[in-house]
Structure 1
């Protein structure tokens, strides 16, 4: 690969990493707002189906990005993005913690009570999310590359969906369980939120498969890659 192509590949990798980190950090900051999204009015264990946190909206994008990076740049680069995301999330947690320690002025549009209501549970939420995220992302990458080796780089839809479905269940189970354990959410909501969150993520994973195919096609055409060939940025 020529130097100009390597530089272009490096820039794209950095942009994908930026999208990944932004989606992850924002999902941790906005998680306390819940909404209904349901094509049918169904209750599951006392909760509306697809009664979910807005934090779940940007989160599936992180799995799409790691799958794309895994496919084009390889397992090592995907793991690097995951580790960077962990660092970024804990750094954002530090910023929120410092901001909560200083007192608001009397004329501040956002007073101490409002700020603490919105961000008061952020520390526990980020911890819960990071534990879930850590397990789920590494599970996703491991399963993705297992299927990639098994199929010799073919059947992209298979490894994309199988890795994401399993890892998303791990993620949803862990984060909802920890939020209930920390009394941020009541235990009577556990099963309903688990099923709703997982089903929503499965639907997103299925719907994002064409976008993964499109991304892989663009990369292979731009950098003249063969099936199962990866870009080496070193």
Structure 2
């Protein structure tokens, strides 16, 4: 007599290889979002009591795309997307430097504004890139490790835990490099800077998690290889 299959066993984790072209599109979106975020960070913004920068609304999108790539394609593909985005951001920063350095025409009167917009303090750029690289990698690693344990179940839990982990590392790295540059010189102010930044970014990511889950579901349905793996 054959034993009945166990219904409570978790479904094995599935990943697509990224050969359909959807992965390349997501990688491009991640790179563009990071580059635009770095440009936006050159503008200070005040919304009520909140002091932030012009790139703050783009940051959640970067982590949504990161979660999407990690969930559908696995850690290696996520690591590749993060690395490519990181290198393209460095290339963009170099291009800004060249554009600023080139001698302007006699009739061009926007040099000062160009320098303010595209020539941010190098340590702030370093802070942004280092935080993105380390935070996104840790976010991807945590999400994929959890998926390997739970299979296709508990997607919201994977997104929430990986987001908190990635955001914490991201915030600590960014604030540690940027704080001295913007004039923070005591421990209490630094702690406030880190905690407020971490709570704000994490709250936004958690609130947007239904959007992330919906987009992940759409990509899984659109990815031919993922559908084929699911049918097995």
Q: Deviations over 1:207-234 (max 9, x none)?
A: 22112221222233334846xx58xxxx
* Residue 106 (structure 1) aligns with: 106
Per the normalisation by structure 1, the TM-score is: 0.80
Query: Which residue is equivalent to 1:44?
Result: none
Structure 1 match to 2:147: 148
Aligned pairs for 1:100-179 within 5 A: 100-111=100-111, 113-179=112-178
Distance 1:115 1:162, change over 3 A: same
Q: Deviations over 1:57-107 (max 9, x none)?
A: 212211111111111122111111001011101100110111121232332
Distance of aligned partners of 1:82 and 1:7 in 2 relative to their CA distance in 1, 3 Å threshold? closer
Secondary structure at the counterpart of residue 107 of structure 2? coil
Structure with higher Rg: it is 2
Structure 1, gaps ≥5 residues long: 1-5, 39-47
Query: What is the alpha-carbon distance in structure 2 between the residues aligned to residue 8 and residue 170 of structure 1?
Result: 27
SS in 1 for 2:208: helix
Q: Which residue of 1 aligns with 2:20?
A: 10
Report the more deviating stretch, 187-196 or 132-141: 187-196
Report if the CA contact (8 A) 1:89-1:126 is conserved.
Answer: no
**TM-score normalized by the length of structure 2:** 0.80
CA RMSD of superposed structures (Å): 2.6
Shift of the 224–92 alpha-carbon distance from structure 1 to 2, 3 Å rule, reads closer
The aligned length equals 211
